[in-house]
Each structure stands twice: as C-alpha cells, then as structure tokens.
Chain A
Amino acid sequence: MSRAGKIARRTFLIGSAAIAGGVAFGVYMAKKPIPNPLLDDLKDGEAAITPFVKIDAEGITLITPRADKGQGAYSIQAYLIAEELDIDPATAMITPGMPGQAYYNASVLSEGVPFPAYQDGFVAETLRDFMSVPAKLFSIQMTGGSSTVPDGFDRMRLAGATARETLKEAAARRVGVARGDLRTENGAVILPDGTSIAYTDLAAEAAEIDPVTDVTLRPASAWRYLGKPDLPRLDMLRKCTGTEVYGIDMEFQDMLHATVRANPAVGTAGARVDASAAEGMRGVEKILPVSNGVGVIANNTWRAFQAAEALEIEWSAPDYPGTSEGIFATLEQALGDPDSYDHRQRNEGDVDAALEAGEVIEARYRIPYLAHAPMEPMNAVVRVLDAQVEIWTGTQIPLFIRDRAATIAGVEPEAVKVYVLPMGGSFGHRLEMTHVEQAVELALAVPGRHLKLTWSREEDMSHDYPRPASVAAGRGKVADGKVMAFDLSVSQSAMAPEWFGRLSGMSLPGPDATITTGSWDQPFDIPDYRVTGYRAPSMVPVSSWRSVGASGNGFYHDSFLDELIHAAGADPLAERIRLCLHEPARKVLEAVGEMSGWDGPSIAEGRGRGVGFCMSFGVPCAQVIEVTQTDEGIRIDQVYVAVDVGEVLDPTNLEAQVFGGVIFGLGHAMNCALTYENHAPLETNYHAYEGMRLYQAPQIEVRALSNGSRIRGVGEPGVPPAAPALANAIFAATGQRIRELPLNKHIDFV
C-alpha cells in the first residue's frame, strides 16, 4: 500500500499552505529549511544524500535517530532505509548520528490531539499533521510514545528511495543512459549490460547533483525485509555475546568515576553534608556539591559508591506530603472537586440525568507510584575541554540534553556533542536528564578529563520520576442486561506539564491529557458516557512510564466496565463487543475470544478467565487471562493477546514487544509500588520491587491483526490491558473484586 499523497504532505509541505491555516505556533519558522546536522561532520568525498544515509568510498552509513532502549528501534529503522536503498543492512554502518532538528519526531506529539485515535476523519487527520509543526519547533528529536515506526515508516523509506534514485541518476549521467534503464541490487547500480557500479563508487558524483525526490515507494508486496518472519535484529549477536557497548560500558584513558547522592525528596534543594569520613577513602579525588545533592569523584565506580555511602547528610524537606497516606488523601480530595477540574473530553448523553434515580453502581480505585527501574542504571560520560562539551549517554531526548548542558557549561548548544548509546532499558526513565546535568556539573570541575557518572541502583530508584499515583471513581447504571451509563472521574497530579517544564523551562498551557488518556478515548458507544480529569496538586515529581496515561486509565476504565457488565448479568466479552464502535477494535476482541475458546468467565471451580481491553497509541489491544486459585495463591495459566498495528513490519519483534508489554503490565500490577515514608520511597532496590520473575511468567500467545488504517508502534499498547484482564480473571475465579494496585496487597500469587 503506497501512500504517496500523504507522504508528500507530511514530509515536504509540512509548513506550506496545505496545512498552514490556523497554526498558532508560527508557520514561518516551520517553513524554514531545517539545518542538516550531518553537513557539519562530513569528510571530503562524502555525499550527504539525505540526513538518513551517508555514503563514502569506504561504505554506507545509515543514521537511525530514534534511540534503542530494547524495543528494536535500531534494527527497524535500518531495515526501513535498506528496504528502498537495496542494501543488506548487516553490511552497513548504523549509527544514531548527532542530534539534529532534522530528526524531529512528528508522531510523538500527534497523539496529543483532542481526537480519539479511532477517529480517522478529515479534521482529526489534519490536526494530527498540524501537530508535527510544534514538534519541529520544539526540536523534539525524541524517542517515545510508540512513535518510532509511525514516524519513520514513510520518512526513512523515502530517504532510502531518494538515495537510491539519486545514485542511479549519478550512474546514468556517468555512462550516458536513462535512469529508467538502470536497477539496483545489493549496494550497487546495475547497468543494462549487467555491469554493476558500487554505490560507494558513485558517492562523489551523487554529491554534485540535485537529489531525485519524485520517488514512489514500493508496495508491501515487493518488500524484501519488512513484514517477513524471522527478520533478525541487527543488534542480537552483540547482545548475546556481551559485546554491545551501553553507556555504562564507555571507557576512556584516565577516566574518572563518579556518583551522587541527591535529596530523596526529588527536586528539593538544601542539605547539610559531613564528608569527613568519605574524604580520606582510597581512590576518592573530590567531593563536590551538585544540584540538590553531593557528588563524589573517584578512580573506580565501587570506590565512589563506598564514599558516597559514607557521607553524613541531613536533607531538607519538600512542601508536599511525605507519606503515601498523605499523598493519597490529597488525590482523593481533588477527585470531584470543582476547583480541581481539569478537562472532560468525553461527555455523551446526559450522565447526570441518567444517574439521578434508580440503582447506581459505584466503585473507587487507586494505583501507586511506580519506578521505571530499567536494568541499566542512569549514567553518563562527560568531558569538558576548551569550551566544548562531549556527552556519551543512552537517552531518548538528546536535543534537550544538548541545550541543558550548554546552559550549565555556559557555551553555545553547537559546542555540545551528544553521542547516543544503546540503552539497557528505559520504560520512560531516559526521558529525564537529571543524571546528565549532575555529570556536566562534576565534569566542569575536572576539565579535560572524561568523567563517568553512575547512579547506584538505590539512587536510580529513589531519584526516578515515577509513574503518577492516582485515584478514580466510577458510577454507572445497567438495564436489561446492558451497560447504559458510565461515568469515570480520575484525579492525578499533572504529569505532562511538569515533565515538559523540567526539560524545556517552558510551561505547557491547557489541560493535562495524560490524566485521562486511556479512558476518555476508548472506542465504545454507551448511551450516557462521561470521563472527567481532576488535577491534584504537584507532589512527588512524576513522568512518563511505559504506556503513560493508559497505564492507569486502562485499569480504571476496563475494570469498571467489567463491574458494570457483571452487574448487568451480561457476558464480559460479548458485551464489550456489542458496545464497541470501532471495527479493528471489535476484531481484536473477537480474536482473543477465538484464541481462548471463550465460553464465559468461569472455567471450573476455582478457575476463571478475564478479558481486558485498552486502545492506546492508536492500537487496540485485547487480552484474555486464565487463572487458577491454588493453595499457594493465584496462578496465571495462560494469556491470549490480540493487537492491531495497521501493518506488521517485524513479526518476530512484535511478538517480543507484546510479551514484554504483558509481563511489564502484569508484574507491576501484581507486585510493585513505591511507598513513601519521610518523602522517600521505601523500595530502593529489586528485592522490594521485582516486577516479574521467570517463575511467575505465564504462557503468552500473540496474534497481530492488520485492520487499522494507520501504521502504529507496539512498544507500549501491550501494557494497559494486562492489569484489568488479570483483576477481572481473579474476580471470575474467586468472586473477589480488587480495585487497588498492586494486587498482592489483597491476594497472594504463586
């Protein structure tokens, strides 16, 4: 399926009249040509054909600007380019490149539009395209929001195709034949007589001519890599041999090793420090203040950790409640309070009238703060030399880091180079940059030396910006075996404005959609249907966590829907299907029904199944979970998942991402919370915050459908339905309805 019209509109006319009318952000700036970051770095003889492909006599380099945190971005971006460029990506150099505005991420903001993702009408589509203009203005070269594939699908193939046709044009001019008579294969242009000229041999000539931009993308039926089963990930061999170099593995001659201790009340300054015990310890070179804490510079990471532990520190307290109890009381207070009203993006029928009389079903829910806790703790290597700053780190936000480092070091952004490295997980943690700020502060004290800052696991977990805690209240009504009224209110501190403010220093006006994302935008048709967001005061500073707003809202919306369906006496799956107004979503519900052989929520005495559904990032995902009540607790027997990403580019990795999403969703729903005491979480390492271990991991079966109209990413949509599907299954097996996460506060698991 080629979508050339759409491609032209998005890639080239993004700031033009076609989408100009009414953009509030300044079309003029968006129309200015975007500087090509590669041009700064080009050696003689290299031809910069597009910012995604570099070719010189030595070889072909593919630039994959979306960072790999485990989701396979590195690999799929290279395949997208290679598919049109006609090369084997395993033979190319692949690098994330220098951060640059040309790599702005149009898709990550496009889900912020006030249209649910299942609406594909003209206005919704146009607004989604508008939103790529602010992405460009805000310089958001960002990885997140399951956006790598949707954002790169057209652009990176187009880059490959443009490069290919330009190389053909160069060959055509050299030998005096028409470009149309040439073809390409395996990194070479093939002449009509069968002679081949390597791309690398054409690089210099290709640099001399205007790029050929009137290219047509190949239809899926002609694909050689994309959509094929067993597409190997290009980083797999390195990751199975210990040879992948993560940020934490960077090594330089005479490098210093540092760590920090910062105020456990995140974002709060002020401390009294006694460093006398730490100062004389072996290998300790310097102990210095950093923002909100203290840094130790030593000649070995362990020595830095030991010295940091030996510091005696008295922290000052923040102005928000210091305990989980106080935090939840604040959230409860804002829930339904007109002064805390934030937004209501769904309001159908007349909910107030519907709930005025008769039997109203009510339920209250809550979810805790959660840490991201990726396996690789936060780290960064920084060197400051002659007013230049170099940074090596695994990050989703290289441009924000560049600008902040420039401010801290007092240099121009152009004097900062950010080298993005593979990440040992993120789940949203690497959308923050406190550790890089600290590393720059410390590196300024040791000019000319490389300094690696590593957070201990304890520092990493207690200085995470967690997934927001929130509370919700559902009120609803059923009649004649049907769900008739659904009213959900959610109260949470504002997440998106806090995060954006931390990164950019700018305030994000308007409501915070993340409070209800995953509940207001579900593809159901209920006669009286309303979802309202309430903004609680800022407390523990919070951030995005894999699947963002939907991580909690998926639980709220689907749990309450399940309660209403049970109250109506309807079948949980059949009633969801009846209420569903979006064809691809209905199909995933039907698919999990078929996969699980669904014949009702009860399987046998002590055995039950639950269905969970959430549409997030435009991807409808349904899950059926089967559980058994045993003497040792609940055992998860089997999970069936159906998703629709529009078009599956890498089936093997899609399955891996869904496995990972389900396990992430289940593990945290079952076992994890950050509990606050004295302004700090009690859980600071994996013994108290496990997620899921192998022995709890269920069998998971995945089916990918392709009925959706747009191509979508799958890194996150597997997460939200897992928690409600499990809670609904536990209800089916035991009759116990659990409305608070983690579930293990209320029930044991095997």
Chain B
Amino acid sequence: MKLTVNGTEHEVDVEPEMPLLWVLRDELNIKGPKYGCGIAQCGACTVHVDGMAVRSCQLPVGDLEGGVTTIEGLGTPERLHAVQAAWVAHQVAQCGYCQSGQIMQAAALLDLNPEPSDAEIDAVMSGNLCRCGTYPRIRAAIHDAAQKLSEA
C-alpha cells in the first residue's frame, strides 16, 4: 500500500484497518503525531489530509485519500510555520505532548478562517485536550498567528 507523507511517498505492508496514526508512528517512524486516547477524544494525533485536520487514530489507512502532512511537514525548528512561531513566542507548551495536535488543528483553522473570533477558536479547538492547561496561551497564540499571517 502506498501513501504520501510530507511530500514523500512510502510503501507499507499493513492491514487496511490499521489507523493512520500507527502506520505513521510504528511503520514509518514519524513520531510527531501522538497517541492519547485512540477514540477521537483528545486530538493529540491530529494531522492534515489534503489540508484538512484529521484525527489519525480514527482513519483506517485503507480509507486514506490524499497526501498527509504531519507536524514535521508543517515547519521545522529552522523554518517555523507562523503558528509554530506564535507558539514559541507565547511559550505555550508545558509537557508539550498535546501540542503537535494543537498546532495542526490551529493551522487548519487559520487556513479556513484567517480571523477567528474567540467563540470560533473555542468551537474548533475544544476537541484538542490539554491536560497541562495551556489554553489561555493557545488562545493568545492563535490570535497572534492570525495577525502575522494576515500581514504576510
């Protein structure tokens, strides 16, 4: 079975029911997407499929249609995506385990809605759990990233 992740094509030999998350983590050694719940309740596994935020723990790899982008493909320590830059500027992460998913979700949000209100941020981001309680800074960082992106 073939799939494209961060622009690179991979061939894997797995059962089609295996969720994309575990193909990424255990077969392709792409560790940015995290396992938190396995039932679409935490968002730690969020990746983009053709630009849309998707919970990779819920997507059987056999049903995948389109290219996958993970946090590793969004930006790198040397070339940060605007959302990642805002996250660093606001010192958002505590343990950081949820943040790959938070950042992927926020990037997809800003793609669709460049100037989200607080209520829109609440609605889209509430599927991403943060047990460390970084929410106040997540809100601030999203507004900041929105502004930077609109100036760019």
B149 contacts chain A at the CB level, 8 A cutoff: no
B8 contacts chain A at the CB level, 8 A cutoff: no
On chain A, the residues within 8 Å of B103 by CB distance are 240
Knowing A685-B39, A687-B41 are in contact, say whether A667-B123 is a contact too (CB < 8 A): no
On chain B, the residues within 8 Å of A257 by CB distance are 26
B117 contacts chain A at the CB level, 8 A cutoff: no
Expressed in whole angstroms, the minimum distance between the Cβ of B60 and any Cβ of chain A is 11
Residue of B84, B91, B99, B135 touching A694 (CB-CB under 8 A):
B135
A662 contacts chain B at the CB level, 8 A cutoff: yes
Q: Mask for A241-263, Cβ within 8 A of B = 1, else 0? A: 11111101101000001000000
Residue of A232, A245, A248, A375 touching B98 (CB-CB under 8 A):
A375
On chain B, the residues within 8 Å of A373 by CB distance are 131
Expressed in whole angstroms, the minimum distance between the Cβ of B98 and any Cβ of chain A is 5
B36 contacts chain A at the CB level, 8 A cutoff: yes
Q: How many angstroms from the CA of A301 to the CA of B26 in the assembled complex? A: 7
Q: Which of A201-209, A552-560, A653-661 has 4 or more CB atoms under 8 Å from chain B?
A: A653-661
On chain A, the residues within 8 Å of B130 by CB distance are 375, 694
Check if B80 sits within 8 Å of A70, measured CB to CB: no
Q: How many angstroms from the CA of A697 to the CA of B70 in the assembled complex? A: 27
Q: How many angstroms from the CA of A700 to the CA of B39 in the assembled complex? A: 31
Name which of B76, B84, B96 has the most chain A CB atoms within 10 A of its CB. B96
On chain A, the residues within 8 Å of B88 by CB distance are 232, 236-237, 240
Check if A239 sits within 8 Å of B96, measured CB to CB: yes
Check if B32 sits within 8 Å of A660, measured CB to CB: no
> Which B-chain residue is minimally distant from A456 (CB atoms)?
B38
Q: How many angstroms from the CA of A661 to the CA of B29 in the assembled complex? A: 34
Expressed in whole angstroms, the minimum distance between the Cβ of B130 and any Cβ of chain A is 8
Q: How many angstroms from the CA of A71 to the CA of B134 in the assembled complex? A: 11
Residue of B41, B71, B95, B125 touching A70 (CB-CB under 8 A):
B95
Check if A375 sits within 8 Å of B29, measured CB to CB: no
Check if B96 sits within 8 Å of A695, measured CB to CB: no
Q: How many angstroms from the CA of A424 to the CA of B22 in the assembled complex? A: 18
Check if B122 sits within 8 Å of A694, measured CB to CB: yes
Expressed in whole angstroms, the minimum distance between the Cβ of B85 and any Cβ of chain A is 8
Expressed in whole angstroms, the minimum distance between the Cβ of B110 and any Cβ of chain A is 15
Check if A242 sits within 8 Å of B42, measured CB to CB: no
On chain A, the residues within 8 Å of B136 by CB distance are 659, 697, 699-700
Check if A690 sits within 8 Å of B122, measured CB to CB: no
On chain A, the residues within 8 Å of B91 by CB distance are 232-233, 236, 652-653, 656
Knowing A70-B94, A663-B135 are in contact, say whether A240-B34 is a contact too (CB < 8 A): no
Size of B's binding interface in residues, CB under 8 A: 60
Q: Mask for A59-103, Cβ within 8 A of B = 1, else 0? A: 000000000111110000000000000000000000000000000
Size of A's binding interface in residues, CB under 8 A: 66
Check if A300 sits within 8 Å of B94, measured CB to CB: no
B36-80: which have CB < 8 Å to A? 36-39, 41-42, 44, 70-72, 75-77, 80
Knowing A424-B97, A457-B38 are in contact, say whether A301-B22 is a contact too (CB < 8 A): yes
A174 contacts chain B at the CB level, 8 A cutoff: no
Check if B84 sits within 8 Å of A697, measured CB to CB: no
Check if A240 sits within 8 Å of B19, measured CB to CB: no
For chain A, what secondary structure do more than half of its interface residues adopt (helix, strand, loop), or is it mixed?
loop
Knowing A241-B80, A691-B131, A693-B129 are in contact, say whether A71-B94 is a contact too (CB < 8 A): yes
B146 contacts chain A at the CB level, 8 A cutoff: no
Check if A454 sits within 8 Å of B132, measured CB to CB: no
Q: Mask for A664-708, Cβ within 8 A of B = 1, else 0? A: 100100000000000000000111001111110101100000000
Check if A240 sits within 8 Å of B87, measured CB to CB: yes
Check if B26 sits within 8 Å of A239, measured CB to CB: no
Residue of B27, B29, B99 touching A239 (CB-CB under 8 A):
B99
A537 contacts chain B at the CB level, 8 A cutoff: no
On chain A, the residues within 8 Å of B131 by CB distance are 373-375, 425, 427, 664, 691
Check if B77 sits within 8 Å of A241, measured CB to CB: yes
Name which of A302, A376, A695 has the most chain B CB atoms within 10 A of its CB. A302
Residue of A71, A240, A424, A660 touching B80 (CB-CB under 8 A):
A240
Q: How many angstroms from the CA of A341 to the CA of B29 in the assembled complex? A: 55
Expressed in whole angstroms, the minimum distance between the Cβ of A328 and any Cβ of chain B is 26
Name which of A246, A257, A656, A699 has the most chain B CB atoms within 10 A of its CB. A656
A285 contacts chain B at the CB level, 8 A cutoff: no
Check if B129 sits within 8 Å of A690, measured CB to CB: yes
On chain A, the residues within 8 Å of B99 by CB distance are 239-240
On chain B, the residues within 8 Å of A686 by CB distance are 36-37, 39, 41-42, 129
Expressed in whole angstroms, the minimum distance between the Cβ of A348 and any Cβ of chain B is 37
A423 contacts chain B at the CB level, 8 A cutoff: yes
On chain B, the residues within 8 Å of A377 by CB distance are 35-36
Check if B134 sits within 8 Å of A656, measured CB to CB: yes
On chain A, the residues within 8 Å of B26 by CB distance are 257, 300-302
Check if B36 sits within 8 Å of A242, measured CB to CB: no
A32 contacts chain B at the CB level, 8 A cutoff: no
On chain A, the residues within 8 Å of B96 by CB distance are 70, 235, 238-240, 244, 422, 424
On chain A, the residues within 8 Å of B71 by CB distance are 241-242
> Which A-chain residue is minimally distant from B31 (CB atoms)?
A249
Knowing A242-B71, A302-B19, A656-B91 are in contact, say whether A375-B137 is a contact too (CB < 8 A): no
Check if B133 sits within 8 Å of A660, measured CB to CB: yes
Q: How many angstroms from the CA of A238 to the CA of B92 in the assembled complex? A: 12
Check if B84 sits within 8 Å of A687, measured CB to CB: no
A382-396: which have CB < 8 Å to B? none
Check if A375 sits within 8 Å of B80, measured CB to CB: no
On chain A, the residues within 8 Å of B125 by CB distance are 694
B147 contacts chain A at the CB level, 8 A cutoff: no
B25 contacts chain A at the CB level, 8 A cutoff: yes
Given contacts A242-B33, A659-B134, 19 further A-B contacts (CB under 8 A): A72-B94, A232-B88, A233-B93, A237-B77, A240-B84, A240-B88, A243-B77, A245-B31, A248-B34, A375-B95, A376-B36, A377-B35, A377-B36, A424-B34, A660-B94, A685-B41, A690-B41, A691-B129, A697-B139
Q: List 14 A-B contacts (CB under 8 A).
A: A68-B95, A69-B95, A239-B93, A240-B87, A241-B77, A243-B72, A373-B131, A375-B42, A375-B97, A424-B98, A685-B38, A693-B129, A697-B135, A697-B139
Measured CB to CB, the residues of B under 8 A from A are 14-15, 18-19, 21-22, 25-27, 29, 31-39, 41-42, 44, 70-72, 75-77, 80, 84, 87-88, 91-100, 103, 121-123, 125-126, 128-139
